[in-house]
Amino acid sequence: MSQAPSSPPALAGAPSKIDASCRVPLLLMFICAAVWLVIASAFALIASIKFHSPDFLADCPWLTYGRVRPAYLNALLYGFCLQAGLGVGLWLLARLGRAPLAQPWLVIVGTLVWNLGVKFGIWGVLSGDGTGFQYLDMPGYAAWIMMLGCLLISLSGLLTFHQRRERALFVSQWFVFAALFWFPWTYSTAELLLVTWPVRGAAQVAIWGYYVANLEVTWLALIGLAAIFYFVPKLTRHQLHSHYLALFAFWMLILFGGWSGIPGGAPLPAWMPVLSTAATMLLLVPVVIVAVLIHQTVEGKWTRLMANPPLRFIALGAFAYLLAGLMRVASAGLDLHHPISLTWFAPAQAQLNAYGFFSLVMFGAIYWIVPQLAGMEFASAKLVRAHFWLALLGLLLSVVPLAIGGIVEELRLETSGISFMQVVKTTMPFLRASTIGDLLLGLGHVVFVVNLLGMVVRFYRPRAVSAYAAATMDLCAVKAKP
The 10s digit of each residue's pLDDT in 330-339 is 887 666 556 6
Task: Classify residue 453: in a domain, yes or no.
Answer: no
Nearest to 93 by CA among 152, 138, 24, 158: 158
Let me know whether 364 and 412 are in one domain: no
In one-letter notation, the amino acid at residue 219 is W
Domain of residue 324: give its range: 217-375
User: Tens-digit pLDDT profile for the chain (482 aa)?
Assistant: 345 666 665 544 344 788 889 999 999 999 999 999 999 999 999 998 888 777 888 788 888 888 999 999 999 999 999 999 999 999 999 999 999 999 999 999 999 999 999 999 999 999 989 898 989 999 989 999 999 999 999 999 999 999 998 888 899 999 999 999 999 999 999 999 999 999 988 889 899 989 999 999 999 999 999 999 999 999 988 888 888 999 999 999 999 998 888 877 778 888 888 888 889 899 999 999 999 999 898 887 777 788 788 999 999 999 999 999 998 888 876 665 566 777 888 888 889 999 999 999 999 999 999 999 888 888 888 999 999 999 999 999 999 988 888 888 877 777 767 776 777 778 788 888 899 999 999 999 999 999 999 888 888 777 777 766 777 765 555 555 55
Domain boundary among the residues 330, 357, 375 is at 375
| Structural domains counted in the chain | 3
Let me know whether 388 and 249 are in one domain: no
- Can you spell out the DSSP letters for 103-167? -HHHHHHHHHHHHHHHHHHHHHHHTT---SSTT--S-HHHHHHHHHHHHHHHHHHHHHHHT-S--
Let me know whether 262 and 392 are in one domain: no
Task: Classify residue 451: in a domain, yes or no.
Answer: no
Let me know whether 347 and 428 are in one domain: no
Let me know whether 241 and 309 are in one domain: yes
Q: Count of alpha carbons within 13 Å of 202, Cβ hemisphere only?
A: 9
Let me know whether 309 and 386 are in one domain: no
How far apart, in whole angstroms, are the C-alpha atoms of residue 38 and residue 35?
5
Rg (CA), the chain: 23
How far apart, in whole angstroms, are the C-alpha atoms of residue 118 and residue 382?
32
Let me know whether 366 and 388 are in one domain: no
Let me know whether 355 and 399 are in one domain: no
Phi-psi region of 138 (alpha: psi -120 to 50; beta: other; left: phi over 0): beta
Let me know whether 336 and 426 are in one domain: no
Let me know whether 394 and 434 are in one domain: yes
Domain boundary among the residues 132, 152, 168 is at 168
pTM over 0.95: no
Domain boundary among the residues 345, 375, 405 is at 375
CATH code for the domain in which residue 30 is found: 1.20.120
Task: Classify residue 3: in a domain, yes or no.
Answer: no
Q: In this structure, are residues 148 and 140 in contact, taking their beta carbons and an 8 Å threshold?
A: no
3-state secondary structure of 200: coil
Which residues are CB-neighbours of 227 under 8 A, at least 6 positions away? 88, 92, 172, 314, 361, 362, 364, 365
